[in-house]
Amino acid sequence: MSSLPSPSPAAADGRRAGGERTRRLLIEAAQQLIAERGESAIRLRDLTERAQTNIAAVHYHFGGLAALLATAASEAVENIIDAQIAELDALPADASLHEITGAYFRPMVHALRGPSSKGRPYVRVLARVTSDPPDGLEEWAATATGRAHAALIPRLRAVMPGVDDDELLFRVKCVGGILVLLSMTALEPELHGKSPDEVERMLVPVIAGTFLGG
C-alpha cells in the first residue's frame, strides 16, 4: 500500500501562515473585548464571532479561553510598557520633568489618538489590567508595572531630588488615574479632533504638575 504524498513546502508554509493569521485575529478580538467589557464578561462565543473563527481554533492555538485572554492582556500591556521604557531610555541624562513626562505618556497617547485603531485597545487593556488585575494575573501585572516604574522613578529622582522614592511611587500611581480617564470617554469632548502631539501638549503640564505634587 503506497503512502500518502508529503505536502509541498509551499502548502505547509501556507497552512502555517493561515494558522498565524487565525491566532492573531483571536488575540486582537480578545484585546478589543477586554477593553470594552473586562475579562469576566467575555464569553467564548462572543470572541469567536468577533474574530470570525470557531471554538476549535481557540482550543487549538491557546488551549482555552482563559489562556487566550491572558495572552491578549499580557501582549497589550507589555507593548505599551516596552514603548514607555524605550522612550525613557532615549532621553538625555539631563532631561527635564516635562521631557520625562512626555516620554512616559507618549506611547499611550499615540496608541489612543494615532491613525491606527490597532493600538487603542492596548491602553484600555492596560488601564483595566493594572487597576484591577483579573484572577491569576495579579503577580504578573505587578511585575509588568514594576518594569515601567523602575525606568521612570530614577528619572524623576534626578529632577526631584528632595522627594523620596516612596512618595515618587505614590505620585506615579496617582498619575495612573489620568491613564484611566484617558482610556475612557470622559476626556473625549476636550480631546476630540486633536492630534497625538496636541494631546501630549495638553496633558504633559497636568501630569508634570501631579509628579511635582504642588
> Grid coordinates 520625562 are at which residue?
100
pLDDT in the model for residue 149: 94
pLDDT in the model for residue 117: 55
Cα angle, residue 120 at apex, residues 114 and 125 outer, rounded to 5°: 150
pLDDT in the model for residue 13: 55
Q: What are phi and psi of 178, to 5 degrees?
A: -65, -35
E strands along 56-164, which residues? none
Q: What's the residue count for the chain?
A: 214
Domain ranges of the chain: 10-212
What's the one-letter identity of residue 142? A
Alpha carbons 97 and 191: distance in angstroms, whole number: 23
pLDDT in the model for residue 49: 95
pLDDT in the model for residue 98: 96
pLDDT in the model for residue 186: 74
Q: Identify the segments of the chain with pLDDT beneath 50.
A: none
* Count of helix runs (H) and strand runs (E) in the chain: 10, 0
Q: CATH topology for 10-212?
A: Tetracycline Repressor; domain 2 (1.10.357)
Entry pTM = 0.81
